[in-house]
A and B are shown apart, each in its own frame.
Chain A
């Protein structure tokens, strides 16, 4: 059995509603997290993201200045100085399937529909910590692999049958963060 060592994780939560931020903070602290940073709009969140280099971002969708979707798109810039790979959990009152698809296409890692529950939040965090997905880069997308399931009934062309492998040295996120300060 595995458990998450929350006191080593750094969170950034972004929600314009102060009550929801308070609830999120309470849940994360109860899980054992010590470092929880809060932003009330997308612009502040992006600034804090660069400054604090959080391990996990939890964001609302609807927010002033720019919303959670735009925040995800700005984080998922492969050439940016910050970390474009951080897990993003979208916590939102939007509960329609098409919204999930839009969020997924913006590079969101997990989607959690409100009302929030301790169990739902814990499961999403466990998922991003224990089962990270590879990233996919295309002309129009950069983010976690959107294929979550394998199916034997797929009959279309297989685009991942073979490929050339290149191994790159990954710069430390800490170094990246230092270089931006």
Chain B
């Protein structure tokens, strides 16, 4: 929508590269407002997000069922490119979405599962129960969230799963330094 007019691009050439500077086409979208300006777009957006929260439980159930369906296919057909991809994608979506939907422990369990899928040298050699426990944990966290004492239990559960998964991955990747480094590297997402 930025109605840009032809501008000038400045190109500075060096031995190995060019530095290209162009006039900022979005500059006109910046409005100078007084400090007393009361408009709060972030607050407005947070309110709108809260307005959606009535749908989060249903969305989360859909995501958890998709994960269980992907796992059922793995149990039926074994791991191949397609089943691995679908299980990873379902877990990865929960990892990214669940905290926004109010299920941070489900996100943590899904992240742990993603790490197993991404870093296990041979998925067929991963204990089936380790994967099943992650799927069951996500389902349990989603289904039982309304109970008062489940938040603490969910947190402990996902933390323990992550500990067991990390122990398995660290051992399985002891001769694969690039994976070991990725497994042990801290997440860039700030902790809760």
Contact = CB atoms under 8 A, between A and B. Distances in A.
Interface of A: 1-6, 8-10, 17, 19-20, 22-23, 26-27, 29-32, 35, 55-56, 62, 85, 87, 92-98, 100, 113-116, 118-119, 121-122, 128-130, 132, 134-139, 145, 159-160, 162-175
Given A4-B31, A8-B2, A121-B45, 10 more contacts: A55-B2, A56-B26, A95-B111, A114-B99, A115-B104, A122-B45, A136-B19, A145-B19, A167-B8, A170-B22
Contacts of B34: 1
Interface of B: 1-35, 37, 39, 41-42, 44-49, 51-52, 59, 62-63, 89, 92-93, 95-101, 104, 107, 111, 114, 182, 185-189
16 contacts: A3-B33, A3-B39, A10-B2, A27-B45, A35-B1, A55-B25, A94-B92, A114-B96, A129-B27, A135-B21, A162-B14, A163-B12, A163-B13, A170-B22, A173-B2, A173-B25
Contacts of A23: 49, 52, 100
A156 to B, nearest CB: 13
Given A19-B97, A134-B20, A62 B92 contact: yes
B188 to A, nearest CB: 5
A135 to B, nearest CB: 4
Given A115-B107, A134-B19, A32 B41 contact: yes
Contacts of A20: 93, 96-97
A171 B59 CA distance: 45
Given A9-B2, A116-B100, A122-B45, A55 B12 contact: no
Nearest to A128: B26
Contact of A174 (B4, B8, B18): B4
Counting from the closest, the 6 A-B pairs by CB-CB distance are: A93-B96, A114-B96, A115-B99, A118-B45, A30-B45, A10-B1
Q: Is the interface of B mostly helix, strand, loop or mixed?
A: mixed
A62 B45 contact: no
B42 A98 contact: no
Q: Is the interface of A mostly helix, strand, loop or mixed?
A: mixed
Nearest to A98: B182
Given A55-B2, A136-B20, A2 B32 contact: yes
A17 B97 contact: yes
A26 to B, nearest CB: 5
B41 A30 contact: yes
A96 B185 contact: yes
Contacts of B21: 134-135
Contact of B13 (A27, A116, A164, A173): A164
A1 B37 contact: yes
A98 B23 CA distance: 31
B11 to A, nearest CB: 5
